[in-house]
Structure 1
Amino acid sequence: MKKIISINRFVLMGITLTALLSCSSDSSDTTPEPDTVAPTLDFTISGTSSGSEPIVVSNQMEININAQDAKGISKVEAFIDDVKVGEDNTAPFTIVVDLSGYAAKSLTAKSQNYILRVDATDTSGNIASKEQMITVINETPLITINIPEDFYNPNWARMYVFASAPDGKLVDSKRIFQDSREVILRTSSDQIFTQEYSLTFAKYTSGTYGNTTQFSTLQNLNSSNLVTLNLKTEPRFENGPRNPYLFPMEGFDPDDVFNSTAYGFGYSGGLNTLNQQLVLDRRKNVTNQVNTDKIYLWLKNETLDEYTYTILDWDLPIDFTLDYSLFNQEDIERRFYQTSLGSGQYTSSINIYGYFNESDFENNVFHNINNSAYGFLPSQGGAYYFNTSIYKTRYEFTMKDYHTARNGKPLTIFNDLDWTIDFSVNSKEINLMKTGNGHSVGKIYLHTDGPQLVNGLNISYDWNIVFDSQTTEKIILPEIPDEIQTWGFYDLYQNNNFKIGQVEIRRYNDLPTYKDYLQEIIKNNNYPYTVSSTMESKYKRGDGLEGYYFKVSDFLID
């Protein structure tokens, strides 16, 4: 056994020595061949299809680079039009490029688009390059619209909001869904204009025999006067067939002539003296907890020229009877107004609304206190009745081509404004002719004069437009997005079937500019009277009538 071990050790020592001598004889001092082979290189851009020419990118571009070399990669770099925009030296190689500062070049420009170049450098300094043409289409936010949870009316079939350039061309359009909480309208960088844009809300309601479209348009918007719009929920009252409650009357002199009104937040009605009944239609606001628990019923005895009123509980018992003794004249004053709007041949009217507390005032939970109208203003002035016990009041007065809405007690004299307003219509352009200083807000009301028969359906629409009355001479109606062109009114739009209901110019106290109006009233969807105590306007109706002002409810504008 020991002999075998000794022989094996000798053999191993011989093998080792032979190997060492062999290695020594094969070695040389020659220099290795230099590395002149460039790396292999390819890249893709996240979110795009490879091989397309050019590749369309926007805002931010992520470049994923596959670079390989036997000696290793030192770095990869990205260039746009030969300007370095990024570098990475650790695999896997990714370069993210901020494109927000790049404007989209016109497709008709001589130097169309941009050239993206990626270089890969190996550890020996060899460089491989690859180019790709890219089109940058950056989207810049125009406006962010915040929407409360209960905003969407289930009666709407569709609702959209869209932005338009001054020439009416569509910039962006978004649909508002029931669960929409934020909508952002954007413009691509080659659409960015230093001038202004318009914003339009479109609501569509369909029925068995026809449909209705309502538009609300804000003109003259820009990045300095409105970038955020916070909508509020419109009051929506209980649906269902009108089934007014009827209550008997007693104690009324059958020989007297009465005029009565019960009209307020969620209710309407009055006396039916022929049937000796009080008629009330009451509907609760279903969108939130804002409601009224009172009904203000005023009564004018025309025979005795006497104004009385009563305040009833909302939840009247079924066996309630309206007795004449419930009416009183406490805190009622008979007042008069005069005007400087010409002699008394012009129709004038005044409507007074009351609020029982501050919450009611802020939420427009109103009650009609009195309304009076005169076809011929008496020499002593127009008479009306005012309840001094009401917490707060506001009123609206109209005469000739003058209209005002104010908080507090009515003026004793209403003075005319030194303004004029006129218009002409050419296809989808409305030209405005204005004179006078001090107005800042203009408003146009378009509508169908009764339903129009289109393809067997009754079609109607309302369109309210507000604009900067100091700077605007012409309004071009915006183009209609494709999604809205299926609505019935589009045939009327295409055929220029527009009826001007009314054009007016306004001023609000403490809001001297259109920007102030947008910031203080429109931005947070406020009731105008809660921001400005006085609004005055001069208006012209499309039918030429004077003394009859179109008051149109609009969730965004009024």
Structure 2
Amino acid sequence: MLKYLYFALIPFVIISCSSESQDTEESEMDTISPEVEFSIVGFPKTSTSNEPIVVSNQIEIKIDARDNGGIAKIEAFINDEKVGEDSTAPYNIIVDVSGYNSKISQTSKFKDYILRITVTDINGNETSEEQVIYIDNELPLISDVSLENTSLINGSDNIITFNVSDNEGLLKVNVHINEILYSEIFDEVFETNLNTLELADGENILKIEAVDLAENIATFEVLFLIDNAGPEINIESLIVNSIIDETIIIKPEITDNYSSIKNVTFSIDNEQQLSFENGNDYEWNFNPENFDTGDKLIKISAKDSLDNESILELPIQIFRRLVTINIPENRIDNGMKIAVAFVSRMDGTLIQSKEILRDDRQIIFNTKEEFEDNQEFMLSFYLEENPYSNTAYISTHQNLTRVNPGILNLATPKYLQDDYISEIPTSNFLSNDYIISNGGRYINGKTYNTSRTSAYYGHLNSERTKFEIATSEWSPQSPFEIFYLYMNDSGVYKYKMLDNPISEGSFLDKTSFTTENIERNYVNVPSGNFTFYDFILEIFAASTLQDDLMNNYHQIYSPNPNIFNYDQNIPYDLNTTFLKYKHTFAWDNFYTERRGVPIETYEIPSVSINYSLEGNKVYINTQFSESTLGRIYCQSTDLNPNYTWTITYDTKKLNQVIIPEIPDNIFHTVTEAQDNNTLNIFAVSLFTYENIADYNTYIQKVLKENNEILDISDWFNSFTNSSTQGPQYKFYGRNQDFPFNNY
């Protein structure tokens, strides 16, 4: 309400007359008083109003004075106290009234102040004019503001209420946002609505400005926060169209600049799976096995305390993981031109293939098709040698499942290199003398002990004047403490041990070989018409437990074919000075590798195996039900380049084995043979093991970690039907799972 009128200009016109009689002659001296008008800035120009003017703090007075002789000075008085003066046109006097009391304490009414303007001309004539003023130095009071400091608001409807009062009256009330006029209030309803959608998120300042009639200005400022945005959702563990085939932890980072997190939900294909109320740790152990395979949409929704919502949508693909293959460094030998792994359905059709690069340390096979845990598949490895031979080596393991093996860890390679030769002068050796000396894997022999870190091989030169020892390893130093040499001529077994390394100036004399600690033992074999090539007996020995652990075995016995005479009691010689022993024994279609020394009698059941190939199916007929697994051996006979393919299967489940398709990116004679149904199957073997009763156990104990069989089982037996021709080409079923082990 307006309690007082406003004046922009208050004119006061004074016309003075001489006090002398009009009939006297005008004096030469100027006695006419000046004319004067004045106004207070900010008030209406009203010369007729006698209403008091309410002023505050400071007043600016503009004076219009006229006199024929000239103005000497203009003075301003309040209650006869001089408060200002000006003597130069245009005349303007500013008076500070902030020190004056506004009201009479006893009545609380305004105190009258007389503002007088006195104009004096150069002759001393004066003219004065007065104006009653009220001085109001009290600011308006702004109170009861409903918006508290640092309040957090959002949306379009936010009614802010407050009260404004003044001792005399208000001129105007405005609301500013960030120093910009937001609303004007023209009545006594002191409220405004903040539509935060028109404003920026974050810190904002609301300022209420109240101006009273005396133009005293009061302000009230409130810092408030606007939050119209939902929480920010970030996730690093997933990208768009990620393939998920194993349990993962989906842990988004959810933050909000201004509000707390109220609720987080995880959904897949619009079906809520998990919800969190408040908190700051949001994890979803996402198991793809709980959902069907195919394209899915993961949705993460987050709401803050103001119910602002953000939604992150991530399209994914759910697959079924079949197998993970971990590959050690240097597993792919430099002699290999290409290495490929592929998985197939049990009907032989291809699911997926991947090339194994030399830098690969892991490959994963999975499929978008639904695959149950117990649904079986095949895993194959294809290795092809460099262009000098292009020979292909293939292994296939059938009857695998997603849980067995689940993870396959290929063994660290153990390469053998003949890169160091020691020569020792000899004496007393005859031209027909023969020394056998090898440790670990003996590549050139009829059979070999299983993988180890290095090997050695020794022999007499053709002139029998030198004995040469070649170590096969990464460095000249062999891990063996000794080299073992033996002779088995004319039925007399003698041996000698040489220190490793060979000392300078060493000399090898035939007479230094000894028979000390040699025992003659016998192996009983079944009767029948057999030759030397139907028989194998080789013995290996380790000096220490560490040698046994590292598979550092010396070959200490093999029979001499030149003196072999078949008898049901076959003799052999055993050096008893060693700590640990292994041996291999073969008779007819029976083959075994075992820990320990040979036993006196081997129980060799009569096992018949018949097989035939029709298309890509191998039909196997046998009455032997005790076998754990079978192996089918395919090998080219007249094709160039050659191939060798070993297919391992569960004999308890299959008597009809399907040979899988070869991926289209492999071009080789084996591909043509497989496509034309002309693969050559030259052998089928059945295997039994000590403490491995079934195929699933074999996968877990041996295949999964690519273990050496005699590190897991004390023995294994195999029975083979081979189509190889000629006695010297007898084939025996050895326990080798992957083609990598050849290199």
Q: TM above 0.5, one fold?
A: yes
How far did residue 239 of structure 1 move?
A: 5.8
Root-mean-square deviation over aligned CA pairs: 4.9
Contact 1:99 / 1:138 at 8 angstroms: preserved in 2?
Answer: no
Which amino acid in 1 is paired with 2:439? G
Alignment pair present for 1:301 and 2:489: yes
Q: Distance in 2 between matches of 1:316 and 1:19?
A: 108
**Secondary structure, aligned partner of 1:414:** coil
For residues 97 and 406 of structure 1, do their structure 2 counterparts lie closer, same or farther at Cα, with a shift above 3 Å needed? closer
**Secondary structure, aligned partner of 2:699:** helix
How far did residue 469 of structure 1 move?
A: 1.9
For residues 341 and 502 of structure 1, do their structure 2 counterparts lie closer, same or farther at Cα, with a shift above 3 Å needed? farther
Alignment pair present for 1:481 and 2:663: yes
Count the aligned residue pairs: 506
Which amino acid in 2 is paired with 1:348? F
Structure 2 partner of 1:329? 515
Q: Distance in 2 between matches of 1:120 and 1:323?
A: 87
Q: Distance in 2 between matches of 1:264 and 1:97?
A: 52
Structure 1 stretch displaced more, 534-543 or 279-288: 279-288
Which amino acid in 2 is paired with 1:251? N
**Percent same amino acid among aligned pairs?**
22
Q: Distance in 1 between matches of 2:410 and 2:434?
A: 39
Structure 2 partner of 1:291? 479
Q: Distance in 2 between matches of 1:438 and 1:499?
A: 27
Q: Distance in 1 between matches of 2:504 and 2:331?
A: 34
| Structure 1: tracts of 5 or more residues without a match | 27-44, 49-54, 65-73, 106-112, 126-131, 454-458
Deviations 1:143-169 (A, max 9, x none): 233333454433333333322211122
Structure 1 partner of 2:381? 201
Alignment of 1:287-366 (within 5 A): 291-302=479-490, 305-317=491-503, 320-340=506-526, 342=528, 347-366=534-553
For residues 362 and 447 of structure 1, do their structure 2 counterparts lie closer, same or farther at Cα, with a shift above 3 Å needed? farther
Alignment of 1:53-68 (within 5 A): none
How far did residue 539 of structure 1 move?
A: 0.8
How far did residue 328 of structure 1 move?
A: 0.4
Structure 2 partner of 1:109? none
User: Normalised by the size of structure 2, how large is the TM-score?
Assistant: 0.57
Contact 1:269 / 1:278 at 8 angstroms: preserved in 2?
Answer: no
Q: Distance in 2 between matches of 1:353 and 1:511?
A: 24
Deviations 1:250-279 (A, max 9, x none): 12356xx4343122232223234x512345
How far did residue 470 of structure 1 move?
A: 1.8
Alignment of 1:14-25 (within 5 A): none
Alignment of 1:107-126 (within 5 A): none
Alignment of 1:132-531 (within 5 A): 137-192=317-372, 194-207=374-387, 209-238=388-417, 246-252=423-429, 257-265=432-440, 266-272=455-461, 274-286=462-474, 291-302=479-490, 305-317=491-503, 320-340=506-526, 342=528, 347-372=534-559, 378-379=566-567, 381-449=569-637, 452-453=639-640, 459-483=641-665, 485-486=666-667, 489-531=670-712
| Structure 2: tracts of 5 or more residues without a match | 1-37, 43-52, 57-133, 135-165, 175-183, 190-234, 253-261, 308-312, 441-454
How far did residue 386 of structure 1 move?
A: 1.2
Deviations 1:199-225 (A, max 9, x none): 222223203x33122223222111343
Which amino acid in 1 is paired with 2:576? T
For residues 445 and 269 of structure 1, do their structure 2 counterparts lie closer, same or farther at Cα, with a shift above 3 Å needed? farther
For residues 353 and 116 of structure 1, do their structure 2 counterparts lie closer, same or farther at Cα, with a shift above 3 Å needed? closer
Structure 1 stretch displaced more, 327-336 or 536-545: 536-545
How far did residue 188 of structure 1 move?
A: 2.4
User: Normalised by the size of structure 1, how large is the TM-score?
Assistant: 0.73
Q: Distance in 2 between matches of 1:97 and 1:388?
A: 59
How far did residue 317 of structure 1 move?
A: 5.0
How far did residue 236 of structure 1 move?
A: 0.9
Contact 1:349 / 1:373 at 8 angstroms: preserved in 2?
Answer: no
Alignment of 1:18-97 (within 5 A): 83-84=271-272
**Secondary structure, aligned partner of 1:283:** strand
How far did residue 198 of structure 1 move?
A: 1.8
Structure 1 stretch displaced more, 340-349 or 402-411: 340-349
Which of structures 1 and 2 has the bigger CA Rg? 2
Q: Distance in 2 between matches of 1:287 and 1:165?
A: 44
For residues 318 and 427 of structure 1, do their structure 2 counterparts lie closer, same or farther at Cα, with a shift above 3 Å needed? farther
For residues 278 and 162 of structure 1, do their structure 2 counterparts lie closer, same or farther at Cα, with a shift above 3 Å needed? farther
Which amino acid in 2 is paired with 1:277? T
Which amino acid in 1 is paired with 2:586? T
Deviations 1:359-411 (A, max 9, x none): 22223222221112679853452222111112211111111111111121212
How far did residue 473 of structure 1 move?
A: 1.4
Structure 1 stretch displaced more, 231-240 or 77-86: 77-86
Which amino acid in 1 is paired with 2:389? G
Contact 2:296 / 2:317 at 8 angstroms: preserved in 1?
Answer: no
How far did residue 417 of structure 1 move?
A: 1.5
Contact 2:326 / 2:408 at 8 angstroms: preserved in 1?
Answer: yes
Contact 1:404 / 1:536 at 8 angstroms: preserved in 2?
Answer: yes
**Which gives a bigger RCO, structure 1 or 2 (Cα 8 Å, sep 6+)?**
1
Which amino acid in 1 is paired with 2:376? E
